Amino acid sequence: MEEFCLNQDEYLEKYLGPRRSPVFLPVCITYLIIFMVGAVGNILTCIVIARNKVMRTPTNFYLFSLAVSDLLVLLLGMPLELYEMWRNYPFLFGKGGCYFKTFLFETVCFASILNVTALSVERYIAVVHPLRVKYVVTRTHARRVILSVWSVSVLCAIPNTSLHGIFILPLPKGKGVGAMSTSVTCMLVKPRWMYNLIIQITTLLFFLLPMLTISVLYLLIGMQLKREKMLHVLEAKASVGQDSSSNVRSQQQKARDWFSLLIFSPALTLLRQLVEARDYSL
């Protein structure tokens, strides 16, 4: 009876919430700042790496891949997100647009995390195992890793994407049979337990494990750098001691050379004069 007394806007707001998000304006301003800074920075990163062969290092390949994932979010995902906050319903891009939006966010999120993890592994090998660098940290290897990262990200984004779809609110009781075209929304349409299970699995695989891996790797990198720093300090102290002793020996040798020069120089001069005198007499 209550639903029968509601008009269309009140009915939609009761079940779908307000048509426009109350935090749209501050979020929009924040998104615009992020968009301007992020788009310029990531585009410049891609241009510099793509145009300069010197910059095409394995590390920069990972940075290029990260920049691409960020640009996908900035140029495609963020406008969709802002549009949904400005007008939560109806969703105008259809079922394909709903799948694309969910798939895009899932893929780039997974790809960014895996790229950072791969970059951390590459840095760990370069610092802790420098002898393996020329075999592991190569451009060919980096390309293969990045291709694998994006392939895994695409595959792992499919399950959550399949749970979403178009939902249309049915007409209230007493007002006919059918659905309200103005209530079209892109949302979860499969059972909630399936969504929760996928979220738990992806949180473990793409958040907890990468975070633990990155933390351990950078801890090992820090320990290695600390050991190298201590070794450099000890070598510097030893070299200072060797330099001081070698300086003393050098000064002693110079003194002996000067002493020998002072003693033998008059004799050599006299001998040379005698030889020259004999040559003249001949």
The CATH number assigned to the domain holding 147 equals 1.20.1070.10
CA distance 172 to 12: 10
Per-residue burial over 76-93, b if 16 or more Cβ lie within 10 Å, else e, is ebbebebebbeebbbbeb
Residue 9 lies in a domain: yes
The confidence band for 87, taking pLDDT boundaries of 50, 70 and 90, is: confident
Task: Count other C-beta atoms under 10 Å from residue 128's C-beta.
Answer: 15
Q: Does the CA dihedral 119-121-127-133 come out positive or negative?
A: negative
Residue 45 lies in a domain: yes
Query: ∠ at Cα 212 (206, 218), nearest 5°?
Result: 120
CA distance 223 to 225: 5
Whether the CB-CB separation of 142 and 122 falls below 8 Å is answered with: yes
Residue 256 lies in a domain: no
CA distance 45 to 66: 10
**CA–centroid distance for 38 within its chain:** 13
Calculate mean pLDDT across residues 96-122.
92
Residue 250 lies in a domain: no
The confidence band for 277, taking pLDDT boundaries of 50, 70 and 90, is: very low
pLDDT of residue 280: 40
Tens digits of residue pLDDT in 41-70: 999 999 999 998 888 888 899 999 999 999
Residue 255 lies in a domain: no
Residue 56 lies in a domain: yes
**How many distinct structural domains can be found in the chain?**
1
Domain that holds residue 120: 2-190
CA distance 266 to 127: 62
CA distance 185 to 187: 6
Residue 37 lies in a domain: yes
Residue 254 lies in a domain: no
